[in-house]
Chain A
Amino acid sequence: MMFLRGNAACPGCPIPRELDALLEVTGERTVLVVPASCTTVIMGDTRGMPSKVPVIHSAFAASSAIASGVRSALDARGEKATVVVWAGDGGTGDIGFASLSGAAERNEDILYVCYDNEAYMNTGVQRSGLTPFGAWTTTTPSGKAESKKPLPKIIADHGVPYVATASIAYLFDYKDKVRKAKEMSGFRYIHLLSPCPPGWRFDAGLTVEIAKLAVETGIWPLYEIEKGKFRLTSISKVLVDKKKRKPVEEYLKLQGRFKDLKGEDVKRIQEEVDQMWEDLARM
């Protein structure tokens, strides 16, 4: 075990398992760079940490830049290691976006993992650019009016060697992607949808179930873009066929954050998902 149990994560939080699975693949010669996020708290304090690999904590907007520097120093020392940024959606797509885009454009030799719980959860559920349409947060009390920022697509448009989406419910798929990314060099990006029981308002026992439904309804397609080549992975391969996808309602109805959605909102979400799959089918 590379990431110890008994850490400060909330009940039902997928982050410790996601981190452990990552480190099972990347091994002890990994450096984690962690900007302000839930993981800052989960990582313990000055008295001790659950990680068995070095961790460098980062100011909110700075993790891609810090990782670029760590990589450069390790190269100068001739040390082989995987430098990983482990960041939430706000630290990735909002405040950290400039440094992320800069590092991607420079094709820095780092693996960036965004664990996306779709809001500022560590500060108590505030809307981010990656909060989906219609979701309640404390700063969108009547639901978010805008759609989710399509981050994997934006990173892929930087022309980086590897971009993938993943889910805690499909652990083998996730670990395969980490393995593939580890063997490559240059800027690699994995975007993990990470259901958050207190933030999404669901029972802590349902984390994996909800992660699974996100994939099965087609809301969260599993894919990878390797050197520009797009490929659906795991169960998502068969979901191009609309009939194989579950209605989005099955995913939405389990979460308190969507409880005030109107019929037309659900219809809009379903239409957006269907449109996304038409686009994916053409990639």
Chain B
Amino acid sequence: MQVTKGVVKALVGNHAVAYAVKQAKPQVLAVYPITPQTTMLEKLSEYVDRGELKARLIRVESEHSALASIYGAAVAGARVFTATASQGLLYMTEMLYWAGGQRVPIVAAVATRALASPWSILDDHQDFMSKRDAIWIQMMAENVQEAYDLTIQAFRISEHENVVLPVMMGFDGFILTHTMERVEVLHDSVVDSFIPPRKFNLVDFTDPVGVGPVAPPEDYIRMRFEAKKAMERSKRVIKEIFREYEDISGRPQHGLVECFMCRDADYVVVSMGAWSGDARVAVERLRERGAKVGLLKVRVFRPFPFEEVRDYLRDCKGVLVMDRAYSFGSGGILANEVKVSLYGHNVPVHSLVGGLGGMDVRPLHIQTALENLMEGKLEEERWLL
């Protein structure tokens, strides 16, 4: 495909995602306001009101109904979108599993935010990570550009015939949703040819079927097995779609993970989301001093890129995983996944838990932890309080 130079805009994260949604042309949207997602809903409302996005935006009375209504629309053949955060994502949970179990193509953006109680409207990843078993593909953006790119890609991935799964695109609340950055957007015609018309539809009056009925055990477990296989198949499809997007956008998309100075590194930071930018700064500073450190950024959390993580980290002397979500009684959620990836390899994995409830984490925090790791002075788990 031909690379056509995009248009440069200055956009906050919520508006960049709304712009991507407009270009992906969903026919039905349902969104319920919640901080820090709300300005995206407001932008989408403007697009629909002005006729720039020819779609029905259902102004539902709850997040449960937001996902339920676009589920109904998706089953009946429409391309659909919703967005939420925090409590809203929790309130949607029943329908997340409903849509995942039925394997219906849906795209949802999650402006990540801490979970109550106590109340916090600020960023962490507890909401997003708590949904890791709902049979959704989960991707997370580092910056506003990536939030835009992943949103466009999410529609294509979700509806791909070898995938047919809902996709969740996470991006950090406030840190990305409300921060203005330089964003290069694609031309509408380029997006049109990148995302083919949707084929998925289960409502056919000439061949009526029941969608989501009671399943006897042998059918139920078979459907779950098929979902597992679809998740596994999706890895290849996601990588192909990333590559294709690289061609049309002229911007490197990496793969399920992004390696930054990590190929020859002895010590590697693993992170997801916006604070990967802070980790880059920490890595660059230490590299300037000659330390062999690197960053491995996880872009796709479900399906988890075990092979890539193992291949990049198996020969490391130590790994520092940055955890913005925690499984109480177990450990940092991302760290646990990294440990699973490295099963059978003798690589110490440390968890740096921080940023919960919006607690500020800076490059210096990461730099210090890395230095401590190199000196053999880092605990297996450290909380940045």
> Is B one of A's binding partners?
yes
B77 neighbours in A (Cβ, 8 Å): 73, 76-77
Take A46-B215, A51-B210, A57-B210 as given contacts and tell me if A72 and B58 are in contact as well, using a CB distance cutoff of 8 Å. Answer: yes
Check if A46 sits within 8 Å of B75, measured CB to CB.
no
Interface contacts (Cβ under 8 Å), in number, total 166
Residue A225 CB within 8 A of the other chain: no
Take A65-B72, A68-B72, A76-B28 as given contacts and tell me if A49 and B210 are in contact as well, using a CB distance cutoff of 8 Å. Answer: yes
Check if A66 sits within 8 Å of B208, measured CB to CB.
no
B72 neighbours in A (Cβ, 8 Å): 33, 56, 65-70, 73
Of A95-103, A206-214, A229-237, A253-261, the one with at least 4 CB within 8 A of chain B: A95-103
Interface size class for chain A? Answer: 35 or more
B65 neighbours in A (Cβ, 8 Å): 62, 64-65, 68, 98-99, 102
Check if B68 sits within 8 Å of A99, measured CB to CB.
yes
Check if B76 sits within 8 Å of A74, measured CB to CB.
yes
Residue A41 CB within 8 A of the other chain: yes
Take A69-B70, A102-B60, A106-B59 as given contacts and tell me if A47 and B216 are in contact as well, using a CB distance cutoff of 8 Å. Answer: yes
A-contact bits for B172-199, CB 8 A (1 contact / 0 none): 0000000000000000000000000000
Check if B78 sits within 8 Å of A49, measured CB to CB.
no
Q: Bound complex: CA of A124 vs CA of B70, how far in Å?
A: 32
A183 neighbours in B (Cβ, 8 Å): none
Nearest CB in chain B: distance from A6 CB, A: 16
What 4 pairs across the A-B complex have the smallest Cβ distances? A69-B72, A102-B61, A69-B73, A66-B72
Which residues of B come within 8 Å of A, CB atoms? 27-28, 30, 55-56, 58-62, 64-66, 68-78, 80, 94-95, 98, 202-205, 208-216, 219
Chain A to chain B contacts (Cβ below 8 Å), 20 pairs: A31-B76, A41-B214, A46-B219, A47-B219, A51-B208, A53-B205, A56-B202, A62-B64, A62-B65, A65-B72, A66-B69, A67-B72, A72-B27, A72-B28, A75-B56, A76-B55, A76-B73, A98-B61, A102-B60, A102-B62
Which residues of A come within 8 Å of B, CB atoms? 28-29, 31, 33, 40-41, 43-47, 49, 51-59, 61-62, 64-70, 72-77, 79, 81, 98-99, 101-102, 105-106
